[in-house]
Amino acid sequence: MSWINLGALWKIVVFGIIAGAGLPALFAAGLYSLSQGPRTARVAGADGGGDSDVLIGGSVIGMVLAAIAFLIILAAIGWGIYEIYQIGHPAPAKK
């Protein structure tokens, strides 16, 4: 038994970066591709770019890419929860 479980530590750091920073970045990329395209990516804003702006699909390709990004995120979350459930319910009375 060691004081620091390095095996666990690097996993927490690496998966932490992938899930904790990577997934939101993917979400941002999805928002970005939603905003691209010939149709102006805003519906509201009489002030032309104010706080009431809302994103809408700018182009078909952009929307498809965004949908893919959002689906990957949802899948990753679902898979993560499933894994946690698996690992978190070990056969009783061990450790």
Partner 1 sequence: MLVLVVITALAFDFTNGFHDTGNAMATSIATGALGPRTAVAISGALNFVGAFLSLAVAATIASGLVNTGKVTLTVVAAGLAGGIIWNLVTWLFGIPSSSSHALIGGVIGATMAAAGGSAVLWHGLVSKVIIPAALSPVIAGLVAALGTWLLYRISRSLTAGARGHGFRIGQIGSACMVSLAHGTNDAQKTMGVITLALIANGTLAKGSNAPVWVIVCCALAISLGTYIGGWRVIRTLGKGLVEIEAPQGMAAESASAAIILLSSNFGYSLSTTHVATGSIIGSGLGKRGAEVRWNVAGRMATAWLFTLPSAALVGAGAYALAASVGHTFGVIVVLVVLAALAGYIFYRSRGNKVDHNNVNAEWTGTVAPADAPAETAAA
Binding site for partner 1 (CB under 8 A): 1-5, 8-9, 11-13, 15-21, 23-25, 27-29, 31-32, 34-35, 41-42, 44-45, 49-55, 77, 80-81, 83-85, 87-90, 92-95
Measured distance CA(14)–CA(18) in Å, rounded: 6
Q: Which is nearer to partner 1, 38 or 94 (CB)?
A: 94
State both tokens at 32: 């970005």
Output 21 or 75, the one with its CB closest to partner 1: 21
Q: How far apart are CA 13 and CA 73, in angstroms?
A: 19
Contacts of 69 (CB under 8 A, 6+ apart): 26, 27, 29, 30, 33
Nearer Cβ to partner 1, position 75 or 81? 81
